[in-house]
Structure 1
Amino acid sequence: MKLKLGIAVLLVLAGLTGTAQAADKQLPQANETTCSAAGQQRPAGMRLAWHDEFGGRTVDRRSWSTVMDFPGRAGGHYHNTSYGSYAVDRNVVLSGGKLRLVTDNKPVTGTDPAGTYQYTEGFISSHDKFFQQYGYWEICAKFPAGKGLWPAFWLIPQDRSWPPEIDVAEWFGSIGSMHSGLASGTWPDVRWDSHWATGPAPTTGWHRYGLLWTADRITFTVDGVPTSTITGDQVPDKPMYVVLNSGTWANADRGGPPDATTPFPNSFDVDYVRVYSAR
């Protein structure tokens, strides 16, 4: 496995701009049967507008960027002080037909913004590459288990405004809970409509995490089953794009940051991302 991982990371480095050497620790395997084995689940009345099955050797630069471009970030590779991790290109790995967004505990000296960061993460977004108003958005994924881990699938407006933000599947490892929800309003008067689900299922198997978004309604789903719905004027009406990232929580709340029990390296594994639009 270590040899295969090394080859995969070198291939990623050939297609990305990262300069650090590949992680030399062994990642857990991610070759289990995934939710894509059942075939494409096309929503009624919709067409596939954009997707990535991650079958290549490097991340597709026509679809993805590894630099952050949204309000609230401190730089192109660091979100803000809620995070303990700095995004580096070497942590974006394609292996075995899957995207693996790695989190590791090797400190790194960053330049954007400048500083030393205890952890590294993998980050990709479709900003300027793909964005859409409404539709059905879905990933097939398996989340890592461990204290302080904070991987997520979320949507941000293409126009660089905030809020809104739609968190489709946001895993907090310290409390073993999945968050889905909507941030709306105007900064600093931000409203959160949130749903929490507690339990280890996201880390023990592959599941489909979806969002059905229309003009006045948001419905979150897991494996096609609705888990929560938001209605009202706070539902956004502007085009949004996909963000996928791993990473660590830095604050003392929500169970706190990683500790000696957290396994490193670990990865947020994604089999596919698919976005549908109305016909």
Structure 2
Amino acid sequence: MIGCLATLAPAFAQENLTTAPLRLSLLVTSDLLGDQCRRIDTPDAPPLAPLSLHRTFHDDFDEHPLSSGKWETHYTGRVELPEADYAGGEGSELERKSKYNGEQQIYVDPRYRGMASTPLGLDPFIVRNGILSIVASRTPPTLKALLFNNEYVSGILTTQKSFSQKYGYFEIRAKIPLGVGVWPAFWLLANDGGWPPEIDAMEGRGQRPGDIVMTTHWRVPVTGFVQDCGMDFSVANAWMDFHDYGALWQRDRVVYYIDRKPVLDIKAPAGFGDPMYMIVNLAMGAKRFGGVGFVDAKSPDVVEFQIDRVSAYQIDSY
């Protein structure tokens, strides 16, 4: 389900989008929902009601993300994504990419040794003036064999060990990088390790400037089949300007936001009952996600996914 969004404005003029306040008010749809997702940034938008929330997690990246204890740099614990691609130990490749998705990077950190006997000292995380950059770069030829012959080294941050929450609003403020094979994302997975559910608050299609995708994934209880429903939105200069991308998860619905304006919602599917944790990553290469493609000679040698902050809120009434 594809759509375009010409202009975007904050839901409440008094909210300063450059900050993550301790308390937040969002507009939320309040009518009955069908089983499919729908755009709600249209002239005939459904009725909206205010919802108050309080902040439960925040990182504005004034320091290196590994200094705070809030983040892990690879998938941890049990993660039942397709083909069990993350079942390997910490020293393996499997916790640090998804072969199912056709990814061509490996997620590294300064402590990661790959197939070497000592850490390789690769750091894909750079902090400048309160902005975190997750940097993807072509793998040095001398290290390629030690890194399972992946074309790129990049980074992932997950709160799987430190923070998860049932219901609430989850938000990233970021610039969306461009290029052949470039695939940035901010998303949620269930803390019990099952898959789905999955909430993709933001995915960028690297070959389509300003194209932002928001998607809900779930499993149909009767058949066991996995389904998803999502839409594309066009955000002007998303690769040059910071914007807020978020998802509000309630008992009865999931609502997606751009600059805290609701743009998409869907009835909460069955199976959305376990707390979820946050993931922010920069993948390179995709065989199942349109507009990204495989890396090639036209792909940038270095890509930066710039992130101003990541925050989470809980609904006051919950």
Match for residue 104 of structure 2? 84
Q: 1:252 to 1:45 in 2, by over 3 A?
A: closer
Read off the aligned partner of 1:64 and give its amino acid letter. W
The answer to whether residue 152 in structure 2 is matched with residue 119 in structure 1 is yes
Q: 1:96 to 1:192 in 2, by over 3 A?
A: same
Q: Is the 8 A contact 2:219 2:271 kept in 1?
A: no
Which of 164, 185, 190 is residue 219 of structure 2 equivalent to? 185
The answer to whether residue 178 in structure 2 is matched with residue 171 in structure 1 is no
- Provide the TM-score with structure 1 as the length reference: 0.79
Q: 1:36 to 1:56 in 2, by over 3 A?
A: farther
Q: CA deviation at 1:106?
A: 2.1
Gaps (5+ residues) in structure 1?
1-34
Q: Is the 8 A contact 1:59 1:94 kept in 2?
A: no
Q: CA deviation at 1:199?
A: 5.5
Percentage of pairs with the same residue: 27
More moved, 193-202 vs 130-139: 193-202
Q: 1:131 to 1:86 in 2, by over 3 A?
A: same
Q: CA deviation at 1:149?
A: 0.2
Cα deviation per residue 1:151-170 (whole Å; 9 max; x = unaligned)?
10000111000001100001
Match for residue 50 of structure 1? 57
Aligned ranges for residues 68-107 of structure 1 at < 5 Å?
A: 68-69=75-76, 70-72=79-81, 73-74=85-86, 75-82=94-101, 83-89=103-109, 90-107=123-140
More moved, 118-127 vs 38-47: 38-47
Match for residue 260 of structure 2? 224
More moved, 45-54 vs 228-237: 228-237
Once residues 194 and 246 of structure 2 are traced to their aligned partners in structure 1, the CA distance between those partners, rounded to angstroms, is 23
Q: Is the 8 A contact 1:131 1:242 kept in 2?
A: yes
The answer to whether residue 280 in structure 2 is matched with residue 260 in structure 1 is no
Judging by fraction of residues, say which structure has more helix: 1
- Provide the TM-score with structure 2 as the length reference: 0.70
Aligned ranges for residues 23-34 of structure 1 at < 5 Å?
A: none
Runs of 4+ in structure 1 deviating by more than 4 angstroms, as ranges, are none
DSSP-derived class of the 1:76 partner: helix
The answer to whether residue 178 in structure 2 is matched with residue 150 in structure 1 is no
- How many pairs are equivalent? 243
Q: 1:136 to 1:257 in 2, by over 3 A?
A: same
Q: 1:46 to 1:117 in 2, by over 3 A?
A: same
Q: CA deviation at 1:200?
A: 5.3
Q: 1:119 to 1:166 in 2, by over 3 A?
A: same
Read off the aligned partner of 2:57 and give its amino acid letter. W
Q: Is the 8 A contact 2:218 2:269 kept in 1?
A: no
Q: Is the 8 A contact 2:17 2:259 kept in 1?
A: no
More moved, 37-46 vs 255-264: 37-46
Once residues 253 and 204 of structure 1 are traced to their aligned partners in structure 2, the CA distance between those partners, rounded to angstroms, is 23
Once residues 180 and 53 of structure 1 are traced to their aligned partners in structure 2, the CA distance between those partners, rounded to angstroms, is 23
Read off the aligned partner of 2:298 and give its amino acid letter. T
Cα deviation per residue 1:239-270 (whole Å; 9 max; x = unaligned)?
00000001212428624223333322111111
Q: 1:259 to 1:55 in 2, by over 3 A?
A: same
Q: Return the index of the structure with the highest Cα Rg.
A: 2
Cα deviation per residue 1:91-128 (whole Å; 9 max; x = unaligned)?
122222111111112254476xx721011111110002
